[in-house]
C-alpha cells in the first residue's frame, strides 16, 4: 500500500466464481471459487473485495473483473458493478474479457469462462451496467468512509502491515477507501457496523436509510437497495430502474417506483432504461432487458448443483425459461407500443400491452411464441 502511493493511480482485479481446476491447469473438470452461488445473496459481492484498496487522492481503476461463466447468477454482474462503481466514483472499469481472439467476434461460439463475445447473457447485463456507470444513471455517493492509516506504520522495518477496518459492507452504501494520514484515524471504527452508526449519529445517514452494516444496504443517494438475505437488489434512478430477485411467491411483486416486476419461473435480473435521455416515466423509447440464465447445448456437470463443469457443450445457446409481469407507470399507457428484439436490437415481433389509466402491463417471457429466446424488448411512445 505504501508503494502504491508513489504511482499515478491504483488498480485492482476481482472475479466472482473464478474457475479452479480439478485436473490439468485450464482444463476440465473445473469448479468455481464461489460455488455457483448468487453474488447478491452474498451482499452484492465483487466490488467490495477491492474497494478498500483505493487510496484517496489517487484515481482508482479495476482493469479486470467478471462474474464468470457458467455461474447461473452471472446476469447480476453488470448491474452490481455498474451501480457500485458509479456510487464509488471509480475512474475506469474493464470486464475481462471481451474476446481472446477474432474467431468468437466474427461468428458465434459456445460460451466459456471469460469471453463476453461468446455469452449473450453477460453482453445484455453489461449494457445496463454501461448506462449505470458511463452515463451516470447512478449518482456518486454523498459521503465518504475512509480508514486513516499512518504511512510510517506501512514502512517501519519488521512491522506487520496494519489490519485495516472491515468496511466491505459499506461499499453499496457510500464511498470507501484508505487515506494515508499521520497518526491514522479511527473516526469510523473498525467495522461496517461502527461506520454505519457513525454516519447515522453525525446525520450523514438519515432515518429513512435502514442500512444495518450487514446484508441490508441502502445507498446514501437512495438509489440502490440491497437486501442480501432476500437475494434482492432494486435500483431506482430517473433513467434506469432494475430488479434482481428470486421467483416471487404468492403473486407478490417488487417495485422501484415507476417499474414493478412479478418474477416467475426462476430468478431474474430485469431492467428498464431510457434510451432518449428522458426519465423512464416520460421517455419515448425504453429498453427492457429480462435475464435468467444461459448455458450451452449438451453442456455437462457432475451433479444437479452444477458446481463441477465436465464438458463445454456446443451451440445453440439455451436460455432458462422464465417469465415476468412488468408494470410501467405511464399516463400515456394506451399509446405505447412494445416489441420483442433479437440480440442485435432488431424488432422481431410486437408484444401486447394491457393499458390502464396510468400504467402499462407487459407479459415478458424468455420463450418467444416461435420457440426462440428473448432477452430484449423495446417500448416506444408517439
- Is the peptide bond between 97 and the residue preceding it cis, with omega within 30 degrees of 0? yes
Q: What are φ and ψ of residue 247, in 5° steps?
A: -55, 130
Q: What are φ and ψ of residue 60, in 5° steps?
A: -125, 130
Mean pLDDT is lowest, of 57-66, 185-194, 351-360, 369-378, for 185-194
* Arithmetic mean of pLDDT, 13-21: 98
Q: What is the strand order of the sheet 285-291 is part of?
A: 216-218, 224-227, 232-236, 240-245, 268-274, 285-291, 376-380, 337-341, 347-351
* Arithmetic mean of pLDDT, 91-99: 97
Instruction: Give the three cell numbers for residue 57.
Output: 487522492
pLDDT attached to residue 157: 59
- Percent of the chain, pLDDT > 90? 80
What predicted TM-score, i.e. pTM, was given to this entire model? Answer: 0.95
pLDDT attached to residue 213: 74
- Percent of the chain, pLDDT > 70? 96
- Is the CB of residue 44 less than 8 Å from the CB of residue 77? no
d(CA 15, CA 314): 25
Q: What is the pLDDT of residues 175-213, one digit of tens each?
A: 999 988 876 677 888 888 899 989 999 999 988 898 887
Rounded to a whole number of angstroms, the CA Rg of the chain reads 22
* Arithmetic mean of pLDDT, 162-173: 85
Which is it for strands 294-297 and 30-32: parallel, antiparallel or unpaired? unpaired
Give the model's confidence band at 339: pLDDT under 50 very low, under 70 low, under 90 confident, else very high.
very high
DSSP string across 13-43: EEEES-EEESSSTT-SSEEETTTT--TTTTT
Q: What rounded mean pLDDT belongs to the chain?
A: 94
pLDDT attached to residue 5: 84
d(CA 81, CA 78): 5
The residue ranges of DSSP E strands in 136-237, in sequence order, are 144-149, 175-180, 216-218, 224-227, 232-236
Instruction: Give the three cell numbers for residue 58.
Output: 489517487
d(CA 237, CA 227): 18
pLDDT attached to residue 158: 59
d(CA 179, CA 38): 32
Q: What is the pLDDT of residues 105-131, one digit of tens each?
A: 999 999 999 999 999 999 999 999 999
Q: What are φ and ψ of residue 283, in 5° steps?
A: -60, 145
pLDDT attached to residue 75: 98
Which stretch of DSSP H or E encloses residue 338? Answer: strand 337-341
DSSP string across 246-298: PPPSTT--EE-SSEEEEEESS-EEEEEEESSSS-TTT-SEEEEEEE--EEEET
Nearest one of 158, 210, 172 to 81, comparing CA atoms: 172
* Arithmetic mean of pLDDT, 15-27: 98
Our measurement of the distance from residue 343's CA atom to the centroid of its chain's CA atoms, rounded to an integer in Å, reads 20
* Arithmetic mean of pLDDT, 305-315: 98
* Arithmetic mean of pLDDT, 152-179: 80
pLDDT > 90? residue 153:
no
pLDDT > 80? residue 160:
no
Mean pLDDT is lowest, of 4-13, 57-66, 73-82, for 4-13
Q: What is the pLDDT of residues 219-267, one digit of tens each?
A: 999 999 999 888 899 999 999 999 999 998 776 789 998 999 999 999 9
pLDDT > 90? residue 314:
yes
Ramachandran class of 6: left when φ > 0, alpha when ψ lies in -120 to 50, beta otherwise: alpha
Which stretch of DSSP H or E encloses residue 121? Answer: helix 120-133
Give percent helix, percent strand, percent coil of the chain, each to the nearest 5. Answer: 20, 35, 50
pLDDT attached to residue 236: 97
- Is the CB of residue 146 less than 8 Å from the CB of residue 184? no
Instruction: Give the three cell numbers for residue 131.
Output: 448506462
Mean pLDDT is lowest, of 100-104, 269-273, 316-320, 351-355, for 100-104
Give the model's confidence band at 161: pLDDT under 50 very low, under 70 low, under 90 confident, else very high.
low
CA atoms 225, 226, 229, 232: torsion sign: positive
pLDDT attached to residue 246: 93
pLDDT attached to residue 218: 94
Give the model's confidence band at 162: pLDDT under 50 very low, under 70 low, under 90 confident, else very high.
low
d(CA 190, CA 195): 8
d(CA 43, CA 242): 17
**Does residue 213 sit in helix, strand or coil?**
coil
Amino acid at each position: 500500500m505504501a508503494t502504491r502511493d508513489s504511482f499515478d493511480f491504483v488498480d485492482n482485479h476481482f472475479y466472482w466464481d473464478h474457475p479452479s481446476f480439478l485436473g490439468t491447469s485450464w482444463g476440465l473438470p473445473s469448479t468455481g471459487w464461489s460455488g455457483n452461488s448468487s453474488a447478491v445473496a452474498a451482499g452484492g459481492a465483487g466490488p467490495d473485495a477491492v474497494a478498500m484498496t483505493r487510496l484517496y487522492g489517487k484515481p482508482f481503476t479495476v482493469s479486470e473483473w467478471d462474474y464468470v461463466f457458467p455461474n447461473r447468477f452471472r446476469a447480476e454482474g453488470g448491474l452490481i458493478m455498474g451501480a457500485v462503481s458509479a456510487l464509488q466514483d471509480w475512474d475506469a472499469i474493464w470486464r475481462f474479457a471481451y474476446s481472446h481472439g477474432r474467431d468468437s467476434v466474427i461468428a458465434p461460439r459456445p460460451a466459456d469462462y471469460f469471453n463476453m463475445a461468446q455469452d449473450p447473457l453477460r453482453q445484455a447485463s453489461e449494457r445496463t451496467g454501461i448506462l449505470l456507470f458511463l452515463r451516470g444513471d447512478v449518482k456518486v455517493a454523498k459521503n465518504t468512509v475512509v480508514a486513516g492509516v499512518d504511512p510510517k506504520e506501512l514502512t517501519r522495518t519488521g512491522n506487520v502491515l496494519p489490519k485495516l477496518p472491515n468496511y466491505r459492507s459499506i461499499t453499496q452504501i457510500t464511498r470507501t477507501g484508505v487515506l494515508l494520514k499521520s497518526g491514522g484515524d479511527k473516526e469510523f471504527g473498525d467495522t461496517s457496523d461502527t461506520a454505519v452508526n457513525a454516519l447515522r449519529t453525525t446525520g450523514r445517514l438519515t432515518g429513512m436509510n435502514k442500512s444495518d452494516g450487514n446484508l441490508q444496504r441502502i445507498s446514501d443517494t437512495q438509489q440502490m437497495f440491497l437486501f442480501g438475505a432476500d437475494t434482492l437488489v432494486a435500483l431506482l434512478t430517473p433513467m434506469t430502474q432494475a430488479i434482481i430477485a428470486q421467483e416471487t411467491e404468492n403473486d407478490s411483486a417488487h417495485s422501484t417506483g415507476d417499474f414493478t416486476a412479478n418474477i416467475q419461473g426462476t430468478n431474474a435480473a430485469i431492467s428498464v432504461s431510457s434510451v432518449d435521455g428522458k426519465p423512464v416515466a416520460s421517455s419515448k423509447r425504453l429498453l427492457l432487458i429480462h435475464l435468467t440464465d444461459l448455458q450451452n447445448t449438451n453442456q455437462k456437470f457432475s451433479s444437479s448443483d452444477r458446481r463441477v463443469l465436465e464438458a463445454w457443450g456446443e451451440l445453440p445457446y439455451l436460455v432458462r425459461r422464465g417469465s415476468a409481469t412488468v408494470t410501467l407507470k405511464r399516463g400515456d399507457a394506451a399509446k405505447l407500443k412494445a416489441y420483442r428484439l433479437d440480440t442485435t436490437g432488431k424488432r422481431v415481433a410486437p408484444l401486447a400491452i394491457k393499458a390502464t389509466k396510468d400504467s402499462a402491463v407487459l407479459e415478458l417471457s424468455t420463450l418467444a411464441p416461435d420457440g426462440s429466446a428473448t432477452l430484449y424488448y423495446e417500448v416506444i411512445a408517439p
